[in-house]
Structure 1
Amino acid sequence: MSRHPSLRPALPRRLIALLLATVAVAALSTGPFGADRADAAILTTVQFGTVTRVAAAQVGVPYRYGGTTPQTGFDCSGYVKYVYSQAAKVVPRTAEEQYRASAAVTPRSARAGDLVFFHSSPTTVYHVGIYAGAGYVWHAPRPGKVVAKVKIWTSDVTFGRAR
């Protein structure tokens, strides 16, 4: 007994499989270019607590280009890398790499411990810090300055969550 023609799938099975694979890849895309994702809650509550505690404890450490420890000083991405390492979370070294490796978080969904990326263009990151909540960020600003908690000074920012 043969199937009725109207019960056959409208698209070949291979095409359906290809479409499903494309949707899956799009859902797993890297970098904070997509919409806010529910699975972006990658840090545990304990890790968020550690990140915020360690970030705040570094206030006053001097800026040093290429610096990655409290003893040598920090640049912006070295500060983020160090703080996250204390929460057993590995992040890449540079601000641009950290941006690409994070999951997008909307400003409304951002929480203390998330990353704040400062942009010179929609896809170019020049600075990174750790969100302190209520519109503030901990960061290692520039030579001659120290790690500090400051009000976010621009609207050219995006938020990300370390994966």
Structure 2
Amino acid sequence: MRAVLGSRGLGDVYKSQASALAPAPAKQHTALLTGTTKGKIAAAAALDQLGVSFSWGGGSAKGPTLGIGRGARTRGFDCSGLTLYAWSRAGVRLSHYTGAQFRQGRRIALRARRMGDLLFFGGGTGDPTHVALFLHGGLMIHAPKTGDVVRKTNFLTSSYFRTAFRGAVRPG
């Protein structure tokens, strides 16, 4: 089957399978073709959050929240809040800290990535400082920084993300 891509990603063409598998159906990207996986459910949940504000410390398994510190007045997600929310829709519990998520799941080679896998960036030799969900090709979805919104980015063509890449993890 071929995905029809719209301006928001996978579009409204997918309607049935993942909603039966996910604990709570996503608003718009409820299924991602035949053979729905937990990773596809997580990706669909993240795609439904496109345009939601970044909020430092924001996000929970239930969705966007008020953050802490710099995010105390903004309802939204930080990077690990978005990934923990997305994977919670697939029934997988993640910590709300990028460094902990880096250790939750199975490390995979970049060439073996699948939809929903977590991509980690930055942090030198310490814990990574940023996490995103892989979509397809070089595309990821993430909550980038204060003042920004949940968005898609091509990490393979970004000089920053290419050089800051730390690894990929498959939760669950």
Among 115, 118, 141, which residue is 2:118 paired with?
115
| Secondary structure class of the residue paired with 1:121 | coil
- The aligned runs of 1:49-128 (5 Å cut-off) are 49-68=40-59, 69-70=63-64, 72-128=75-131
Unmatched tracts of structure 1, length 5 or more: 1-43
Aligned letter for 1:46? T
More strand by share: 1
Report the AA paired with residue 138 of structure 1.
Answer: I
- SS of 1:120's equivalent? coil
Q: Does 1:143 align with 2:146?
A: yes
The residue type paired with residue 103 of structure 1 is: R
C-alpha displacement of 1:119: 2.2
> Among 105, 119, 132, which residue is 1:129 paired with?
132
Q: CA deviation at 1:87?
A: 0.9
> Is residue 116–residue 134 contact of structure 2 (8 Å, CA) maintained in 1?
yes
Question: Number of aligned pairs?
Answer: 120
Aligned-residue offset at 1:142: 0.6
Secondary structure of residue in 1 paired with 2:128? strand
**How big is the shift at 1:45?**
4.2
More helix by share: 1
What is the TM-score with the length of structure 2 in the denominator?
0.65
What per-residue deviation string (whole Å, max 9, x for no partner) do you get for residues 75-117 of structure 1?
0001101111111110111000000122111011001110000
Amino acid at match of 1:63: F
Larger radius of gyration: 1
What is the SS of the residue equivalent to 1:149? strand
**Which amino acid in 2 is paired with 1:108?**
R
Secondary structure in structure 2 of the residue aligned to 1:108: helix
Q: Secondary structure at the match of 2:38?
A: helix
Answer 1 or 2: higher relative contact order, Cα 8 Å, separation at least 6.
1
Root mean square deviation, CA, Å: 1.6
TM superposition shift of 1:53: 0.9
Give TM-score scaled by structure 1 length. 0.69
Deviation at 1:47, TM superposition (A): 1.4
